Amino acid sequence: MKKIFTLSVLFLFGFLITSSAQDIIYKKDGSREETKIMLIGEKEIQYKKYSNPDGPVYTISKSQITMITYENGEYEMLTSKDDEAKMAKQELSENFAKNLLGYHLFDVVYGDFTFSYERILSSGTIGIKIPVGIGYAYNTDYFNSSENWVKNMVYSGIGVNFYPTGQGKWRYFLGPNVRVGYGKQSYWGSLWDEYGNYIGDEEVENEGIYTKFFVDNGVMFTPVRNLGVSAVVGVGVRYFPEASYSYNAFLPTMHFSLNLDYRF
């Protein structure tokens, strides 16, 4: 008799638990609704209110729901592609990688291997950038063809990038950039004797410290948190006191850079 009573109590307790089970829908507006889900479709969910199991069937779009907890204790998170895109965009703008280690791909055209390090401040609107460039191919005809060209041998400097809209997938930036390096100017000059007769040509080389000041304008594309690609155009002036002629010491200059950045 006692055994039968115990089994009856357990059966009644299990029935009460089962009868009180419900599905809960959590909506994006912060509200929740106790339901009995009837059908889960591709874009919408049909349900009855738990408080009125014999009442009408309601329909709600999945785009309005953040999560569903089922009567068996399992749960399901619902995010649309738009939600995922918004979350990724928010992640890039708020939880961005502050360190950028870059390789300047286009600098090989100038005969330079260039790397840079940039530190983005916590605000996301200012970056401090330090480049290091090492030159090669000093004596090719390309670099000997102009009296105005100063071939870099090694340089470094510092720049400040301002990001008006902070960090994100596509961002514009601008700012000043100062370079100090050691360069070489090499060109062919004509020789004349004291009577004005042409003798021949000789290669003239001038080496020394140069300084460049640019105002950079650039665009950065960050498809994922740890990878960025940027293109930069800078316009400014160059000072090379060892120039062949004094009027060539100060000259306008510009540069273009295409960079691949690892962000961490």
pLDDT tens, residue by residue, 69-93:
888 878 888 766 666 666 666 666 7
> Mean of the pLDDT values across residues 108-117?
92
pLDDT tens, residue by residue, 142-183:
444 556 788 899 999 999 999 999 998 999 999 999 999 999
pTM for the structure as a whole? 0.64
Q: Is the pLDDT of residue 113 over 90?
A: yes
> Mean of the pLDDT values across residues 200-216?
88
**Sequence ranges of the domains in the chain:** 20-78, 92-263
Q: In whole angstroms, what is the distance from residue 193 CA to residue 129 CA?
A: 51
Q: In whole angstroms, what is the distance from residue 76 CA to residue 10 CA?
A: 30
Q: Which of 102-116, 123-137, 144-158 has the lowest mean pLDDT?
A: 144-158
SS (H, E, C) 93-118: HHCCCCEEEEEEHHHHHHCEEEEEEE
Domain 92-263 CATH (choose: 2.40.160.20, 1.20.1440.130, 3.10.20.30, 3.40.50.1820): 2.40.160.20
Among residues 263, 264, 259, the alpha carbon closest in space to that of 114 is found at: 259
Instruction: Determine whether domain 20-78 maps to CATH 2.30.30.100.
Output: yes
pLDDT tens, residue by residue, 54-70:
899 999 988 888 889 88
